[in-house]
């Protein structure tokens, strides 16, 4: 989007009509162009401008809008100011605080605030739609193959192991809760007192352990930090709780790797999406082929 087009679209937002403004770019956003807009009368907003063909990624912008409002109701998300699907824009209030990075979670105080925010989200109002990584992975894989997108030859070698993991999780199903499903470090904002959660593109009701496992793998937690993260969320986790988080971290890495391969073929952004996907595939393959998985799956299936 050109600056002139952005300026023209911002003029059409009701929340900015007749107000002087200052616009600045926000970093990040691999499916969005995000800007911060501060008005002369004290307004402070983030405008998320969707880009590209997000249909291939399974993003539902109406559900994102609804679930962003629900996260705000849960007390952990930014209030929604305006939603304009015709302009492909979602306006939310700007949240003060520091965006986390992977190293932030080694501070047990930050870890505790982050876990408290995730618990609050999961205890909040149900979301529109469900999210299941096994269904998402099947859809993504069909898209990759039907479109002829580049896929590492090793991906299909893990299909049988993937099915084994699916059966183990299905043997001890857990109730679903409203989940963000994409809580990488940059989607946590810490104001020193509380943590906020942002970006609900992939939100839906899901297994809480997937939420925890997704953060663990995206933020490169080591085994000790995965255990501390699980304990911060559950309080007194069972062996099955910890095993389920570790297995869902595997599911996150294997499933989301396909997101990278789709983006590599379709995104206009100058970013190495293929390497992003390959990194996650390598991480998943190491767990699939490692010595711990059979024991973890036994604990998951046992459900104790």
The pLDDT tens digits along the chain (304 residues) read: 566 678 888 999 999 988 999 999 887 666 678 899 999 999 999 999 887 566 778 788 999 999 999 999 999 999 999 999 999 999 999 999 999 999 999 999 999 999 999 999 999 999 999 999 999 999 999 999 999 999 999 999 999 999 999 999 999 999 999 999 999 999 999 999 999 999 999 999 999 999 999 999 999 999 999 999 999 999 999 999 999 999 999 999 999 999 999 999 998 888 899 999 999 999 999 999 999 999 999 999 887 6
Clarify whether residues 35 and 166 are in a common domain.
Answer: no
Q: How far apart are CA 91 and CA 104, in angstroms?
A: 27
139 shares its domain with 238 = yes
Give the CATH number for residue 23.
3.30.200.20
Both 186 and 270 in one domain: the answer is: yes
Number of domains in the chain: 2
Contact (CB, 8 A) for 178 and 67: yes
16 is in which domain, residue-wise? 3-93
Using the 8-state DSSP alphabet, how is residue 77 labeled?
A: S
Task: For residues 169 and 284, state if they share a domain.
Answer: yes
DSSP letter for each residue of 183-206: --GGGEEE-SS-EEE---TT-EEE
Place of tokens 């929340």: 15
Which CATH number do you get for residue 228?
A: 3.90.1200.10
Residues 236 and 108 in one domain: yes
Q: Same domain, yes or no, for 87 and 135?
A: no
Which pTM was predicted?
0.94
């Amino acid at each position: 989007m050109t600056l002139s087009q952005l300026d023209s679209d911002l003029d059409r937002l009701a929340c900015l009509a007749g107000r002087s403004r200052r616009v600045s770019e926000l970093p990040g956003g691999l499916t969005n162009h995000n800007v911060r807009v501060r008005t002369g009368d004290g307004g402070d907003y983030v405008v998320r401008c969707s880009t590209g063909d997000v249909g291939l990624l399974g993003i539902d912008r109406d559900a994102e809008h609804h679930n962003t409002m629900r996260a705000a109701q849960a007390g952990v998300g930014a209030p929604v100011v305006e939603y304009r699907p015709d302009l492909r824009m979602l306006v939310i209030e700007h949240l003060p605080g520091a965006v986390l990075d992977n190293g932030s979670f080694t501070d047990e105080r930050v870890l505790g605030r982050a876990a408290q925010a995730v618990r609050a989200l999961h205890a909040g109002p149900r979301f529109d739609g469900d999210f299941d990584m096994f269904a998402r992975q099947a859809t993504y894989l069909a898209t990759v193959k039907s479109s002829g997108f580049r896929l590492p030859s090793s991906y299909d070698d893990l299909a049988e192991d993937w099915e084994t993991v699916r059966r183990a999780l299905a043997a001890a199903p857990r109730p679903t809760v409203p989940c963000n499903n994409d809580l990488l470090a940059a989607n946590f904002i810490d104001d020193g007192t509380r943590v906020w959660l942002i970006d609900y593109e992939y939100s839906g009701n899901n297994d809480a352990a997937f939420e925890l496992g997704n953060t663990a793998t995206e933020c490169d937690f080591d085994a000790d930090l995965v255990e501390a993260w699980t304990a911060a969320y559950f309080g007194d986790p069972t062996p099955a709780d910890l095993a389920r988080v570790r297995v869902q971290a595997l599911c996150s890495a294997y499933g989301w790797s396909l997101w990278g391969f789709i983006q590599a073929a379709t995104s206009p952004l100058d970013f190495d999406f293929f390497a992003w996907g390959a990194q996650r595939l390598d991480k998943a393959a190491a767990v699939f082929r490692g010595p711990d998985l059979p024991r973890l799956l036994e604990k998951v299936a046992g459900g104790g």
